[in-house]
Structure 1
């Protein structure tokens, strides 16, 4: 079996990362973790990160607005307006919602703490690798263009093998490399290492912790549009206290108070749609994987099963 060092890369800086050796970086989540549970870590894979946006735009703005007008018409006894707006608003909400939730999302990259292995789906085929002894390649490179100048990038990849066909292997990227540095990728690898070796919860040094405070602080950094209005209200409340009764409401805050409530339904419907599509996608994993994600599931690794079969 060839080692990752033999992969053909450009002469740009690259670092070999290991499961049992620290990089010295602080654990850092790079907006890739989709689920951080006691038993497995799920990383977003492939596209469709904006799943739910269409439902949010059509249903959250158009659909809810039409339904709201219909309810106003009903309170005034104008039921002809209600029937018309409902006949437009409900399909605007329901049709994109069904279309986006019934289509499966790309399956995530799974890191299973219980069995200490990694799972990856490629076009319906299951790939895996044991965690113990795993190697990753962090490769730094630049993209240069007349319009964009020079942009630093860094990839982070691991190798996985097809189930029962170990002669077939893939290099899997743990998130898009664009806009990341080698230091950021080292920090993300430390996040994964800390989870697999010391988790499920750990502190800022990667050491085991009974508290999930540090993990929650990392995951909370991800921006959510639905939190914008709440954050604006908190900011205005603090500004009122700091001003001591003086004029504390800025023009920017005033605009946010008008605009953000309009986009709140869009954001919440988008998040709900994505959540439902994600829960439906979980059922697409083979039973070999799903049963190992359960708290009381088997702990045998897939590579052990292959060895028993002589693969």
Structure 2
């Protein structure tokens, strides 16, 4: 090895498995922290960056803005209205400027699995791609990423092919989430989650069978990490420790510190989540009309591929 040449990360030989829409994978359904919305009619998966949207609003507004407004209120109680005006002049822009910037900028549109029309939608730089669900195939590929700083990282990608609407000669392979840190079994479990939703949903049990209860689905979605849950989890941990010790000498210094820190950052986390939610709601309006109307409960049930057939356009949908 030439020591003067930087060592590059390399990908080892991959193991590839083809997954079908009508064939079970043998794994239990597993959600991999990328489901943005799980509704009665469609399943939305996060695509691209954007999950950290609202972070600057949370930091600047939740810490700087709240602190400035709090100091302004203290100044008003003491009759120092010049201090109040100055603090409000700082605090209000600290919240609203990043809030407007982050909510008005569009988020990357998610990958949509429309259960009602049984098709998949994907937006790539403003161009609509789609594919029917029935007969769809997914490619699950397991590989190991090797590099000088990461050692060997096991990874597995899960990809589907989609075609440009009204341009069926153009297609893309779309990755359903990041492959890093995933195993082939995890990706097969995630495909089973999607398959259970599309074929047996909207709700299903741990075996993928249809269920009138959303208990299993909610148990999967509740595992997704939320920064604002840290405060609640710390309270529950303290409460559990109190019960175990009969209410005596249960509170440790680390618990007090954790509770204080969680309380301080709670407004930041809640503001970040609220900003992301509003930005996501605004971005829904960016879908083309043919998609937006099919996301409604009473919208058209025809697939986009059916519209293409009516125009005399057709293409083989095999991977």
Matches within 5 A, 1:175-186: 175-186=177-188
TM-score by length of 1: 0.96
Secondary structure at the aligned position of 2:142 is classed as strand
Aligned length in residues: 303
The separation in 2 between residues aligned to 1:228 and 1:194, in whole angstroms, is: 31
Identify the residue that residue 226 of structure 1 maps to in structure 2: 228
Mapping of 1:259-298 within 5 angstroms? Answer: 259-298=261-300
Q: CA deviation at 1:147?
A: 2.1
DSSP-derived class of the 1:136 partner: strand
Deviation at 1:76, TM superposition (A): 1.5
In the alignment, is residue 190 of structure 1 matched against residue 192 of structure 2? yes
Q: Whole-Å Cα distance in 1 between the matches of residues 167 and 150 of structure 2? A: 43
TM-superposed CA distance for 1:10, in Å, is 7.7
What RMSD in Å do the two structures reach over aligned CA positions? 1.1
Deviation digits for residues 24-55 of structure 1 (CA, Å, limit 9, x no counterpart): 10100001100000000000001121100000
Match of 1:87 in 2: 89
Structure 1 residue aligned with 2:48, among 42, 46, 49? 46
The residue number in structure 1 matching 2:203 is: 201
Runs of at least 4 residues of structure 1 off by over 4 A? none
Please, which runs of 5 or more residues in structure 2 have no aligned partner?
Answer: 1-10, 314-319
Counterpart Cα distance in 1 of 2:112 and 2:231: 33
Matched, 1:103 2:105: yes
Query: Residue 161 of structure 2 contacts residue 174 of structure 2 at CA under 8 Å; is this kept in 1?
Result: yes
Counterpart-to-counterpart distance in 2, 1:191 and 1:84: 53
TM-score (structure 2 length as normaliser): 0.93
Distance 1:85 1:92 in 2: 11
Structural mapping, 1:114-129, within 5 Å? 114-129=116-131
For residue 60 of structure 2, what is the aligned residue in structure 1? 58
SS at match of 2:278: helix
**CA deviations over 1:155-185 (Å, ceiling 9, x no partner):** 0000000011111000000011111110110
